[in-house]
Amino acid sequence: MALHWSDLPADVLAALRQGAVIPAHPLALDAGRKLDARRQKALTRYYIDAGSGGLAVGVHSTQFAIREAGLYGPVLKLAAETARDWSDSPLVLVAGLSGKTAQAKREAETALGLGYHAAMLSLAPMKGASVDELVEHCAAVAGVMPLVGFYLQTAVGGIPLPVEFWRQFAGIPNVVAIKMAPFNRYRTLDVIRGVVAARAEDRVTLYTGNDDHIVLDLAVPFDIRRGPDTVRMRIKGGLLGHWSVWTKSAVELHARIHAAVAANKVDDALLALDAKVTDANSAFFDVAHDFAGCIPGCHEVLRRQGLLEGTWCLDPHEQLSPGQAAEIDRVYAAYPEFADDAFVHANLERWLA
């Protein structure tokens, strides 16, 4: 069983290509660090009602340790079933993959069987592999289902990936998108240059995962030289852990940026939001402690809103860093316009039902 991107439902493919808001789905646990299915479903319903165009499940924000905990299949299944039951809108379902080739292919087969449309492949487990070995690995997984590339920042386990890797990766026929999350402008440009060099700009849609530059990634064009020509590239959507919180305002921001770009009216007021969003992210992602609290930081926002019961992670050592809660207090006070607490409060009982 295999799926090619051309066989995806037309409305799903259109949503992916236009650029969607795709939250990186967290994992809801109870105090015993067991899956809290009720709150996991509530999160999915929240993202859908907030206007998300898709969901990414089994990714870094869902915690890579779900694999060892035997939760990979159950968590993906719960999200897919909840999404289908809750909404008739076209939702792009992206499954996170990890491991060496055999494991990644097994996970892709699991995701495909559950109705996922694409798979985002973490290359962190391939540390030390050559560019050719990495491309061979990716091509093997792309033989199962459409692939979303993933440039994970090195601070949380990613590996450096040169332009030549991205050129060859973008040349794989079943690659549909790339999430760029190196948190590094030079490396972000490496991805875009690779896509242009592969002449894949019409097939491979660019997504930001750079939580430190969300607004600018979406608002500014990237002009890349290819021989005598200049190819203008744009990042269309976001697949972001940051967008797992305050999601309704993220959807509104994404729509505002798209409208401004279409009207050629990207003004200072819009560009000034980049620093504000980045500052909010610094608290959620625990930049002060090299991202150690990035997952519990997002959990803390969801806990305050009532969507999660606690900030528990599968790893008991993964918790809020000293001073992180106070930093979240600070950005809540500084940017009340970004919070969607009222929206959550109005719908929480229904999502938890």
Q: Where are the domains of the chain?
A: 5-267
Distances (CA, A) of 240 to 92, 127, 143, 148, 181: 14, 23, 26, 13, 9
Could you tell me which residues come within 8 angstroms of residue 18 by beta carbon, excluding any fewer than 6 positions away? Answer: 236, 237
pLDDT at 320: 98
pLDDT at 299: 98
Q: How many CB atoms lie within 10 A of CB 144?
A: 22
**For the chain, where are the alpha helices, taking DSSP H only?**
10-18, 37-49, 72-86, 101-113, 131-142, 163-170, 185-197, 214-219, 247-262, 268-271, 273-284, 294-305, 324-334, 341-352
Token pair listed for 208: 């930001």
Q: Quick one: 186 exposed, middle or buried, by C-beta within 10 A (0-12, 13-18, 19+)? A: exposed
Q: Quick one: 214 exposed, middle or buried, by C-beta within 10 A (0-12, 13-18, 19+)? A: buried
Distance CA 178, CA 335 (A): 30
pLDDT at 118: 98
5-267 is classed in which CATH architecture?
Alpha-Beta Barrel (3.20)
**For residue 317, which of 292, 282, 289, 291 has the smallest C-alpha distance?**
292
Q: Phi first, then psi: what are they for 121, rounded to 5°?
A: -100, 120
- Tell the residue number behind the tokens 């806990």, with chain if given: 303
- Tell the residue number behind the tokens 């190196």, with chain if given: 182
Tens-of-pLDDT digits for all 353 residues of the chain?
799 999 999 999 999 999 999 999 999 999 999 999 999 999 999 999 999 999 999 999 999 999 999 999 999 999 999 999 999 999 999 999 999 999 999 999 999 999 999 999 999 999 999 999 999 999 999 999 999 999 988 888 889 999 999 999 999 999 999 999 999 999 999 999 999 999 999 999 999 999 999 999 999 999 999 999 999 999 999 999 999 999 999 999 999 999 999 999 999 999 999 999 999 999 999 999 999 999 999 999 999 999 999 999 999 999 999 999 999 999 999 999 999 999 999 999 999 99
pLDDT at 74: 98
Q: What's the pTM?
A: 0.97
- Tell the residue number behind the tokens 């859908």, with chain if given: 48
Q: Which long-range contacts (CB under 8 A, 24 or more apart) does 99-105 make?
A: 99/67, 99/125, 100/125, 100/126, 100/137, 101/137, 101/140, 101/141, 104/137, 104/140, 104/141, 105/140, 105/141, 105/143, 105/144
pLDDT at 311: 98
What are the b/e assignments for 280-296, b being 16+ CB within 10 Å?
bbbbbbbbeeebbbbbb
214 close to 181: Cβ distance less than 8 angstroms = no
- Report CA Rg, the chain: 19
Distance CA 11, CA 109 (A): 23
pLDDT at 157: 83
